[in-house]
Amino acid sequence: MFSESGQGLVEYALILVFVSIVLVVVVSIFGTGIANAYSNIISNIP
């Protein structure tokens, strides 16, 4: 009834949504630490 290419596109879309959610969670958890490390590196460059 449905074409297999449509099913593949849906699977790729679900994978992209999952990866996006994981990235948002990782950035929200580690974002401030990464920002502080970056600030320290920039301030130590003469």
The token pair at 35 is 């920002």
Residue whose pair of structure tokens reads 């290419």 in the numeric block:
5
Percent of the chain with pLDDT over 90: 37
Burial environment of residue 46 by CB neighbours within 10 A (0 to 12, 13 to 18, 19 or more): exposed
Residue 25 has pLDDT above 90, yes or no: yes
> Is 21 within the bounds of a domain?
yes
Convert the pLDDT of each residue in 34-43 to its tens digit.
888 889 999 9
Residue whose pair of structure tokens reads 């490390």 in the numeric block:
37
Res 31: pLDDT: 84
> Is 3 within the bounds of a domain?
no
- Where residue 3 falls (left for φ over 0; alpha for ψ -120 to 50; beta otherwise) is beta
Mean pLDDT value across residues 10-25: 94
> Is 5 within the bounds of a domain?
no
> Is 46 within the bounds of a domain?
no
> Is 2 within the bounds of a domain?
no
Mean pLDDT value across residues 20-29: 92
State the pTM of this model.
0.58
